[in-house]
């Protein structure tokens, strides 16, 4: 199971019909496989289709055509409830704009996926608190988003993404709204999460951020331009090596 | 459905918070909508409370009859509007004194049987010239009639059975008469003159008050035998029967009905040629009379509630639009359609219930103004309050379902992009 494909995309096309003859080809046939415990950075110029791809991988959006298998299950054959369940249990999504519920405190925001997952109240509180401690926010659990710094907000969002122990963590420019120092802290957090065995796909503009990853996929005009694995020792190999 | 109970509990709590937040952010619109609901519920509750008060005023013994008592008379107490029915009733024979005696002898289920006959619009005069208006009622009564009429002797005494059988000229007067002709005087042992006959006052009947503005104190009672001597023996008699207790009440009515049918030679299968009324039948009749009032109020309420429902829908649609992004977030982290649907419907119900609560509160207060007016204990119509809440829930659901459905069908990615 360790090397099985979590994500398998074959010839994914996404076309936006703008009315009339005008069409936007956001993705023009993307094929990519991502295995468990990979750390993938997706790069490319603005408007190249990175977010579109991430939203499709995150089951938030549906491709116009192509095959998408998540853990070997064909996503296009899933109904609404099954999709909701995958989003809830299998995918943790971290957004550039955090997307926290403004009226709720950090703890409640992190609890939310557990609520929709049907976890009982006591269990929920404990797990949400643990997730917040994990991202270094144990002392901020009752702060509302507007009482937290940008970096702290993103940590809440990461805790929320991780609380259900998903198969994969998706992050679309998670440091885009942060200064470089805070961004670095977040990137260290991702690295640590990867070391702990999480599978991560991350979209970024910045080369130095992509360097944290072990595989860089470059996209241009809705197509994969290059897909290179950086010759780093994976944590698993590193463990074996010692 | 593997949506757990926990999730539902959460959704209820969440919806309460959301509803209150929506109320805060859309103050004026919310107030107008809640006002609509409040008015609709208010008018239902106010009228139903007032009705409850009136019914309980009938039940609480402000009516003419004592407890567990019913009365038999020739005519119904409320006139029928049907001319054929009226003609039929006019042709009915009087209930004779002898028939009353038959009931007295044979009604084994009865604790007391009172017989009486009435003259209306009399004038009562004192030797020194005080006189009443020509509106005093004169009752010929037997002794048990005081029990069945629920008349309590205040000053003085009741006439004895000797005085009754000897047809003595004694009178017991109601407080209405006392106040009119003996305002500063002890009425006991005074003489009064009615229709040229002189009576010695031996007792006063305690005040009974009046129901619906009526007056039950403006009368004089004399022995039934005396009454027959003055006004003739073939007078129409009322029979009042008190059963031994609540349980035997219905049996007692049936027994008396049987006795009277035999005494009056009513053929089997024919309808009674007399009318039995009890507090129950009074209430029933009261409900019939007020039917159209209630129907009208119900219609007004329905219109108000409908308008309010549209208002709720409006608020909810705005709320859905304002919270598009939030819905997107919730969906992105795994909320199903049903989660969103439930949340918004609950929110609509909470909103509606809020207005309903105000309406119920004001309605109960207004309805009980009738109770204050009639000086009887207030009524809290729990059944109608429950119905009010139920109606609000229905409105919340009916008008919340479309906005909630809209919210639940939002596309996750489009709602996340929504600014
Ligand atoms: N809802 C939409 N309707 C129409 N066109 C869209 C829509 N969403 C994206 N696009 C188009 O699809 C293309 C890819 O957009 P996408 O958001 O995936 O780019 P991106 O690589 O994430 O860019 P950035 O780095 O600026 O975030 C763009 O040309 C964009 O205009
Ligand atoms: Mg993007």
> What is the residue extent of each domain of chain A?
37-54+80-240
Which of the four pLDDT bands, split at 50, 70 and 90, describes residue B321? very high
- Name the residue with tokens 């609000």: B392
* Residue whose CB lies within 8 A of the most ligand 1 atoms, among A13, A48, A170, A223, for a mutation test: A48
The DSSP-derived string for A94-123 is E-TT----TTS-HHHHHHHHHHHTT--HHH
The DSSP-derived string for B306-354 is HHHHHHHHHHHHHHHHHTHHHHHHHHHTT--HHHHHHHHHHHHHHHHHH
Cβ–Cβ < 8 Å for B112, B144: yes
Query: Taking CB atoms and an 8 Å limit, are B413 and A95 in contact across chains?
Result: no
**Sheet holding A73-74: strands in order across?**
A23-35, A5-17, A65-70, A73-74
Q: Could you count the other beta carbons within 10 Å of the beta carbon of residue B231?
A: 15
Distance from CA of A231 to the nearest CA of B (A): 34
Distance from CA of A224 to the nearest CA of B (A): 23
pLDDT tens by residue, B353-412: 888 888 888 888 888 887 787 667 777 888 888 888 898 899 999 999 999 999 999 999
Ligand 1 pocket member A52 (CB < 6 A): yes
Query: In percent, how much of chain A has pLDDT > 90?
Result: 75
- The dihedral sign for the CA sequence B144, B147, B148, B149: positive
- Name the residue with tokens 């020509």: B134
Ligand 1 pocket member A55 (CB < 6 A): no
Which of the four pLDDT bands, split at 50, 70 and 90, describes residue B158? very high
User: What's phi and psi for A72, nearest 5 deg?
Assistant: 70, 15
Residue A144: per-residue pLDDT: 94
By alpha-carbon position, which residue is closest to atom 24 of ligand 1? A46
The DSSP-derived string for B26-80 is THHHHHHHHHHHHHHHHHHHHHHHHHHHHHHHIIIIISSS-TTEEEEESS-SS--
Which of the four pLDDT bands, split at 50, 70 and 90, describes residue A79? very high
Q: CB within 5 A of ion ligand 2: which residues?
A: A 51
- CA-B417 nearest atom, ligand 1: 1
Q: Which residue has the higher pLDDT, B195 or A120?
A: B195
Residue A73: per-residue pLDDT: 94
Cβ–Cβ < 8 Å for B62, B319: no
User: What's phi and psi for A22, nearest 5 deg?
Assistant: -75, 130
* Span A207-220, average pLDDT: 90
Whether residue B165 has pLDDT greater than 60: yes
Q: Which residues of B touch A124 (CB under 8 A)?
A: 6
* Span B86-96, average pLDDT: 86
Answer whether A60 touches B (CB < 8 Å). Answer: yes
Query: Taking CB atoms and an 8 Å limit, are B334 and A61 in contact across chains?
Result: no
Which of the four pLDDT bands, split at 50, 70 and 90, describes residue B33? confident
Q: Which residues of A touch B333 (CB under 8 A)?
A: 87-88, 93, 112-113, 116, 160
* Residue whose CB lies within 8 A of the most ligand 1 atoms, among A15, A42, A50, for a mutation test: A50
Whether residue B93 has pLDDT greater than 80: yes
d(CA A12, CA A56): 9
Q: Could you count the other beta carbons within 10 Å of the beta carbon of residue B28?
A: 7
Which of the four pLDDT bands, split at 50, 70 and 90, describes residue A238? very low
* Span A231-237, average pLDDT: 53
Torsion over CA of B381, B382, B387 and B389, rounded to 10 degrees? 120
Whether residue B168 has pLDDT greater than 90: yes
Q: Which residue of A has its CA nearest to B3?
A: A118
Cβ–Cβ < 8 Å for B58, B279: yes
Query: Taking CB atoms and an 8 Å limit, are A112 and B330 in contact across chains?
Result: yes
Q: Which of B123, B121, B142 is nearest to B131 (CA)?
A: B123
By alpha-carbon position, which residue is closest to atom 18 of ligand 1? A49
Distance of CA B282 to the CA centre of its chain: 9
pLDDT tens by residue, B232-256: 988 999 999 998 888 888 899 999 9
Weakest-pLDDT range from A1-5, A41-45, A112-116: A1-5
Query: Taking CB atoms and an 8 Å limit, are B337 and A95 in contact across chains?
Result: no
Q: Which of B116, B136, B145, B124 is nearest to B228 (CA)?
A: B116
Query: Taking CB atoms and an 8 Å limit, are B332 and A88 in contact across chains?
Result: no
Residue B92: per-residue pLDDT: 86
Q: Which residue of A has its CA nearest to B327?
A: A101
First vs last Cα of chain A: how many Å apart? Answer: 23
Answer whether A98 touches B (CB < 8 Å). Answer: no
User: Model-level pTM?
Assistant: 0.70
CB crowding A84-114: b at 16 or more within 10 Å, else e: bbbbbbbbbbbbbebbbbeebbbbbbbbbbb
- The dihedral sign for the CA sequence A97, A100, A105, A109: negative
Answer whether A113 touches B (CB < 8 Å). Answer: yes
Residue B159: per-residue pLDDT: 93
Highest-pLDDT range among A56-70, B140-154, B249-263, B315-329:
A56-70
Whether residue A85 has pLDDT greater than 50: yes
d(CA B11, CA B345): 10
Q: Count the residues in chain A.
A: 242
Whether residue A194 has pLDDT greater than 60: yes
Cβ–Cβ < 8 Å for A186, A174: yes
Query: Taking CB atoms and an 8 Å limit, are A116 and B335 in contact across chains?
Result: yes
Least distant ligand from the CA of B411: 1
Picking from A85, A90, A116, A162 by the largest number of B CB atoms within 10 A of its own CB, the best residue to mutate is: A116
Residue A6: per-residue pLDDT: 94
Ligand 1 pocket member A49 (CB < 6 A): yes
Q: Which residues of B touch A85 (CB under 8 A)?
A: 334, 336
A73 strand-pairing partners? A70
Q: Which residue has the higher pLDDT, B5 or B128?
A: B128
Q: Which of B362, B294, B371, B407 is nearest to B15 (CA)?
A: B407
Strands B153-156 and B124-125, bridge-based pairing: unpaired
Weakest-pLDDT range from A86-90, A214-218, B113-117, B146-150: B146-150
Query: In percent, how much of chain B has pLDDT > 70?
Result: 92
* Span A179-188, average pLDDT: 90
- The dihedral sign for the CA sequence B60, B65, B70, B71: negative
* Residue whose CB lies within 8 A of the most ligand 1 atoms, among A47, A55, A218, for a mutation test: A47
* Span B33-45, average pLDDT: 83
Cβ–Cβ < 8 Å for A22, A47: no
Ligand 1 pocket member A47 (CB < 6 A): yes
Whether residue B15 has pLDDT greater than 90: no
Cβ–Cβ < 8 Å for B175, B205: yes
By alpha-carbon position, which residue is closest to atom 12 of ligand 1? A26
Whether residue A3 has pLDDT greater than 80: no
Distance (angstroms) between ligand 2 centre and the Cα of B418 equals: 15
pLDDT tens by residue, A23-73: 999 999 999 999 999 999 999 999 999 999 999 999 999 999 999 999 999
Q: Which of A47, A51, A58, A49 is nearest to A7 (CA)?
A: A58
Please enumerate, as own/partner, the contacts of A192-196 that have beta carbons within 8 Å and a separation of 24 or more.
A193/A158, A193/A162, A193/A169, A194/A37, A194/A39, A194/A235, A195/A235
Residue B371: per-residue pLDDT: 76
Distance from CA of B11 to the nearest CA of A (A): 9
d(CA B11, CA B126): 79
Architecture of the A37-54+80-240 domain: 3-Layer(aba) Sandwich (3.40)
Q: Count the residues in chain B.
A: 419
């Amino acid at each position: 199971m360790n090397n099985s494909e979590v994500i398998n995309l074959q010839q994914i096309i996404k076309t936006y019909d703008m009315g009339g003859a005008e069409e936007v080809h956001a993705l023009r046939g993307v094929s990519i496989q991502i295995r468990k415990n990979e750390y993938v950075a997706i790069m490319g110029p603005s408007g190249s289709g990175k977010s579109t791809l991430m939203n499709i991988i995150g089951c938030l959006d549906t491709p116009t055509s192509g095959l998408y298998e998540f853990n070997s299950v064909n996503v296009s054959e899933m109904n609404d409830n099954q999709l909701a369940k995958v989003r809830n249990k299998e995918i943790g999504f971290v957004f550039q704009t955090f997307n926290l519920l403004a009226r709720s405190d950090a703890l409640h925001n992190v609890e939310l996926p557990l609520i929709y997952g049907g976890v009982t109240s006591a269990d929920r509180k404990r797990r949400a608190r643990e997730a917040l401690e994990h991202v270094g926010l144990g002392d901020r659990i009752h702060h509302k988003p507007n009482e937290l710094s940008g970096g702290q907000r993103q940590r809440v969002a990461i805790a929320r993404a991780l609380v259900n122990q998903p198969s994969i963590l998706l992050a679309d420019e998670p440091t885009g709204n942060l200064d470089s120092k805070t961004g670095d802290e977040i990137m260290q957090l991702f690295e640590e999460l990867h070391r702990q065995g999480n599978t991560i796909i991350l979209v970024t503009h910045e080369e130095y951020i992509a360097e944290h990853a072990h595989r860089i996929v470059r996209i241009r005009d809705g197509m994969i331009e290059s897909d290179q694995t950086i010759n780093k020792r994976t944590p698993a190999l590193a463990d074996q090596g010692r | 459905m593997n949506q757990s109970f926990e999730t539902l509990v959460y959704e209820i709590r969440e919806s309460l918070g959301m509803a209150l937040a929506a109320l805060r952010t859309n103050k004026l619109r919310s107030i107008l909508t809640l006002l609509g609901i409040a008015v609709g519920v208010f008018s239902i509750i106010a009228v139903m409370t007032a009705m409850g008060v009136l019914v309980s005023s009938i039940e609480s013994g402000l009516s003419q009859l004592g407890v567990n008592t019913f009365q038999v008379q020739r005519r119904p107490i409320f006139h029928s509007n049907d001319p054929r029915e009226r003609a039929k009733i006019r042709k009915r024979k009087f209930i004779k004194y002898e028939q009353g005696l038959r009931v007295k002898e044979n009604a084994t289920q009865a604790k007391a049987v009172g017989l009486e006959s009435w003259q209306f619009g009399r004038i009562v005069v004192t030797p020194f010239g005080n006189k009443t208006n020509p509106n005093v009622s004169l009752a010929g009564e037997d002794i048990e009639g005081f029990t069945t009429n629920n008349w309590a002797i205040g000053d003085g005494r009741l006439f004895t059975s000797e005085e009754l059988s000897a047809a003595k000229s004694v009178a017991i007067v109601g407080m209405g008469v006392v106040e009119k002709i003996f305002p500063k005087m002890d009425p006991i042992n005074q003489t009064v003159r009615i229709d040229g006959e002189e009576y010695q006052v031996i007792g006063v009947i305690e005040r009974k008050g009046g129901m619906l503005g009526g007056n039950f104190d403006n009368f004089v009672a004399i022995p039934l035998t005396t009454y027959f001597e003055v006004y003739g023996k073939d007078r129409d008699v009322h029979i009042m029967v008190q059963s031994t207790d609540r349980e035997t009440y219905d049996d007692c009515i049936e027994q008396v009905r049987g006795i009277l049918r035999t005494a009056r030679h009513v053929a089997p299968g024919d309808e009674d040629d007399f009318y039995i009324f009890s507090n129950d039948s009074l209430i029933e009749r009261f409900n019939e009379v007020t039917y159209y009032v209630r129907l009208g109020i119900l219609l007004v309420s329905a219109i108000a509630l409908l308008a309010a429902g549209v208002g709720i829908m409006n608020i909810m649609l705005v709320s859905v639009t304002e919270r598009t992004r939030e819905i997107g977030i919730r969906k992105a982290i795994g909320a199903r359609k049903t989660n969103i649907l439930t949340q918004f419907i609950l929110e609509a119900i909470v909103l509606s219930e809020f207005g309903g609560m105000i309406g119920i509160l004001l309605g109960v207060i207004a309805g009980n103004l009738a109770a204050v007016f009639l000086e009887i204990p207030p009524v809290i119509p729990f059944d109608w309050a429950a119905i009010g809440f139920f109606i609000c829930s229905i409105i919340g659901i009916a008008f919340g379902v479309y906005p909630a459905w809209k919210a639940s069908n939002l596309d996750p990615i489009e709602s996340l992009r929504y600014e």
